[in-house]
Each structure stands twice: as C-alpha cells, then as structure tokens.
Amino acid sequence: MKAPRGTQDILPGTSEKWQFVESALIELCRKYNYQEIRTPVFEHTELFQRGVGDTTDIVQKEMYTFEDRGGRSLTLRPEGTASVVRSFVEHKVFGLPMQPTKLFYIGPMFRYERPQQGRMRQFYQFGIEALGSADPAIDAEVMALAMAAYQELGLKSLKLVINSLGDTESRKQHREALINHFDPHREELCQDCQVRLDKNPLRVLDCKKDREHPAMATAPSVLEYLNEESREYFEQVKSYLDAMEIPYVVDKNLVRGLDYYNHTAFEIMSDAEGFGAITTLSGGGRYNGLVEEMGGPETPGIGFALSIERLLMALEAEGIELPVDEGIDCYFLALGNQAEKEAVRLTYQLRKAGVQVDKDYLGRKIKSQFKSADRLKAKYVIVLGENELEAGQANVKLMETGEQKEIPLTELVTYLKNELAGGK
C-alpha cells in the first residue's frame, strides 16, 4: 500500500520544520491581531461554484467532488476564502461590534492537478481574510503581513508584484476592451480561452497555454481603464507601502480572474536561484462583492494565501536552516527489575515537571541503551541500577562534557529541572 498520488507523509525529522513554520505564522498573526478560524474540510459543492467561480480551472477541472449517502454534492475544499466567507455570513459575524473581522487559517486543501515539486493534490495553505473595511490602508496591511510571513523566517529573494483591477465600472470597460481585442483571434485561442472570452475575458490573460500568443503582449491593460476613484485608491495603497518602505513592482498584466475581485491584486515571488520555473509563492487581492454573493450584506474584503510546501521549498533554495530544537532533555537507563519499576515512576514524575525524557522499552543492554541516548541527542543520561537503587540515588551524566554526579532520588526531579532551566 502506498499513499495516493499527489499526497505525502510528513515524517518526524521533517514535521518539526512544519511545526516551526506554522508557529511562526500564528505568532505573526497575533502581532497583527488576526484570529484563527477553522472550517470543515468539505463543503457543499455550490459554495465553491459560487465562491470560486464556474469559469475557473479549479471548479471545472480540479475539485474533488462526491455525493454523500443523502445524494448531496460535497467537495473537498480547494481553497480557504469561500469557506471563511460562508462562515462569516452563516454566523452573522458582520454584526459583531469589533470590525473589521480579521481571520487566519491553516489547513489542508485539495485539488486534482498534475503533481509536481511544490504542487500536490493535498497541500497545506495558510491564509488571512480581512472583512468589513474598504480602507486602502488594510490592503497595505495584508501585503505587509504576507511579506513578513517570509521575511521573518529569513527569506530575502522576494519580489512583491501589485496591480489594480479597478472598481466595477472600470472592470466593465476593461472587459469590453478585452473582448474587442481578442475576438478577432478567437479561433487561435485554446478551447478554454474561447469559453472564457464570453464568460470572464480577464482570465484569458492568465492562460498558461496561450501566454506566448502575440495578442497577449498587446492586450489592453486594466490600468488604462481605471476611473478617477479607482486610480486614487491604487495611489493610496502604493503610498502606504511606500510609508512602510516595502518595495514593490507594478505589473499591469497581473490579474485575479474571478468576477468579484476588484481594486488591489498582488503576488509574492521568489527570485532565489534554483527555486524552480514557477516563481510565485503566494497571491491575494480585494474581493468586494463576495460576501453578497454568499447571501450576506454588502461587505468589502481582502485576503491572501500561501502554500506551506512552497514556503519550505523557498527556505531550502536560499539555504536557510530553521532553528528546530533537536534532541531530548534526558534518557533514563534502568538495569534490573526493581530499578526498572523505579525508572517508570521517576520518568512519569519528570514528565509531569515539564522535563522531556524517554527510556528503553526493549530490554536492551546498557551499551545499546547509551547508543539510543546518543541517537536521541539526550543532554543528560540517568543511570539507575540495583546498586544505585540501594543507595537511594541515581547517576546523572551530562553528555556534552561527560561530567557525572550522584543525585538522591528524592531530589532528582528538582535537580534536573534547575539544571535544564539554567542551560536554557
């Protein structure tokens, strides 16, 4: 038996890195006052059809959809925003006095796509959503948090790319311009883009198959169709980024292809050598209109999401070693039946006192037990044999120096707690 294609086991030795990264992201959200939300792994299929969009590759090709025993169509979540907004509406969070609502999530997502490095069918995503504010300052805050998610872990080869999609009026004019531009080339485009041209022409600009088509290079930019209000909004967003001294590049071809996206759109890319052909680490944007689409009141929103797998890839590409704590505090060696019984009691007491300790459970000889202590990188080894038991004390060895001390059993827990506290 093997794990399904596009999934992976995260084993000890690697899982500690995941825990470190996730803890760092959670602490970052605490600083920015974002609170955690946990939503179901599967939702009604309609949620993603409405929330992600019928014309997207995600909905058309990549969702894991199934019927339950009641004949209801359910889908493993392919992204986090739709679920968060559904919960925001269902529980009437918009009515709470503290607004805007600032949320974060971490969890597995599922997409049926061709597995490749950094892209799995089950992948883990961290994301934030800020709901209830149309202030361009919160757009800048979301981008600042997104950049900090990478920078605080040590990444340096980063590029923030931004664009404006404008408001509804600006997008409508740009949509008409795109249709007029691409319509003469309709038969030259891929089948997906021929459909997109009628339903959501902005997505044509994001096509991987037709990216080299000459019409792409001359396609009208949304920046040319921004009305005064949209242009002013974008200028304010940029001014806030400038105030925080966060470098960025304006890319007029950067789009978020869903109908409800508007105003700010952004991506963060890695320039690290050896990271791979796909340089995007994360993306986000403003989605005024999505809450209404889900049946809620008019509520502006903005968010972003990043892949934990790709974050770890970027760390590896830049040669960054995470300061993951390796080794345990103590290893208990017991020789003889009575000593074994006392070792079980003391191991339990040490753990209750907060000391990280393990012992032998295979009845190995003392030499093999010392080897186990070395493999576990134990700071201290406690030896308890019949002679030590009779004397009411244990032999405690500091592995780094080889120094040994005889410690009364009644004082062992206190002694090791104090020694370990001093070492930290």
If asked whether residues 308 and 362 sit together in one domain, one would say: no
- In the listed set 283, 317, 351, which residue is the last one of a domain according to the structure? 317
- At residue 407, the pLDDT reads 95
The one-letter amino acid code at 391 reads A
Instruction: Identify whether 323 is preceded by a cis peptide bond (ω within 30 of 0).
Output: no
For tokens 């209830």, the residue is 132
- In the listed set 263, 285, 317, which residue is the last one of a domain according to the structure? 317
Q: Whole-angstrom Cα distance, residue 86 to residue 291?
A: 8
Instruction: Give the mean pLDDT of 319-330.
Output: 89
Q: Could you report the per-residue pLDDT of 258-312, keeping only the tens digit for each?
A: 666 789 999 999 988 877 667 889 999 999 989 998 999 999 999 999 999 999 9
**Contact status, residue 280 vs residue 288, Cβ threshold 8 Å:** no
Q: Which one has a higher pLDDT value, 254 or 332?
A: 332
Q: Whole-angstrom Cα distance, residue 350 to residue 399?
A: 18
Q: How confident is the model at residue 2 (pLDDT cuts 50, 70, 90)?
A: very high
If asked whether residues 288 and 373 sit together in one domain, one would say: no
Query: Quick one: which of 307, 129, 330, 140 has its CA closest to 234?
Result: 140
- At residue 399, the pLDDT reads 94
In-domain check, residue 174? no
If asked whether residues 405 and 266 sit together in one domain, one would say: no
- In the listed set 278, 293, 317, which residue is the last one of a domain according to the structure? 317
If asked whether residues 139 and 256 sit together in one domain, one would say: yes
Percentage of residues of the chain with pLDDT beyond 70: 97
Owning domain of residue 408: 330-423
Q: How many domains does the chain have?
A: 2
Q: Could you report the per-residue pLDDT of 198-244, keeping only the tens digit for each?
A: 888 887 887 778 888 888 888 888 899 899 999 999 999 999 999 99
If asked whether residues 303 and 353 sit together in one domain, one would say: no
If asked whether residues 29 and 140 sit together in one domain, one would say: yes
Is residue 55 pLDDT above 80, yes or no? no
If asked whether residues 287 and 337 sit together in one domain, one would say: no
Sheet of strand 357-359, all strands in order from the earlier edge strand to the far edge: 357-359, 330-334, 380-384, 393-398, 404-408
* Known binding-site residue numbers: 79-81, 111, 125, 129, 256, 260-261
If asked whether residues 132 and 240 sit together in one domain, one would say: yes
Q: Could you report the per-residue pLDDT of 128-141, keeping only the tens digit for each?
A: 999 999 999 999 99
* Known binding-site residue numbers for L-histidine: 79-81, 111, 125, 129, 256, 260-261
If asked whether residues 298 and 353 sit together in one domain, one would say: no
SS (H, E, C) 264-279: EEEEEEECCCCCCCCC
Is residue 57 pLDDT above 80, yes or no? no
Q: How is residue 60 annotated by DSSP? A: I
Residue 335: CATH number of its domain: 3.40.50.800
If asked whether residues 418 and 392 sit together in one domain, one would say: yes
Q: Could you report the per-residue pLDDT of 332-357, keeping only the tens digit for each?
A: 999 999 999 999 999 999 999 999 99
